[in-house]
Amino acid sequence: EAGVAQSPRYKIIEKRQSVAFWCNPISGHATLYWYQQILGQGPKLLIQFQNNGVVDDSQLPKDRFSAERLKGVDSTLKIQPAKLEDSAVYLCASSLAGGPADTQYFGPGTRLTVL
């Protein structure tokens, strides 16, 4: 079974530029999550989708971050404009149904450096 795919794996941009990340979850998984992991910290949930609807985006900085999952499958996360503090690993995860006991499967992440 193929895992969660993410691209690109690495991205270096200058502040105020824009960047987009892509995620393809495990086939059949209804729930998709985007996390931000800053060095030395645990992952922090940015947004959770159930199919193509948003379940939780309370921690998404909506003035600069946006995410979509138009067909309920793959998803993109965009940052515009980027700030230095956005330097982090952006992890995408998926789970079968989004229930509280579901296992989350993570992709390899995109390591973003903002200069």
Partner 1 sequence: RKEVEQDPGPFNVPEGATVAFNCTYSNSASQSFFWYRQDCRKEPKLLMSVYSSGNEDGRFTAQLNRASQYISLLIRDSKLSDSATYLCVVNSPSGTYKYIFGTGTRLKVLA
Question: Could you list the residues that contact partner 1 (CB under 8 A)?
Answer: 33, 35, 40-45, 48, 55-56, 58, 91, 100-101, 103-109
How near is the Cβ of 12 to partner 1 at its closest, in Å?
16
The tokens for 44 are 């922090």
Contacts of 29 (CB under 8 A, 6+ apart): 94, 95, 96, 105
Q: Which is nearer to partner 1, 31 or 114 (CB)?
A: 31
To the nearest whole angstrom, how small is the minimum distance from the Cβ of residue 37 to partner 1?
A: 8
- Report in angstroms how near the CB of residue 74 gets to partner 1 at its nearest: 17
Nearer of residues 3 and 28 to partner 1, judged by Cβ? 3
List all residues 6 or more positions away from 48 whose beta carbon is below 8 Å from its beta carbon.
Answer: 31, 32, 33, 34, 54, 55, 56, 57, 98
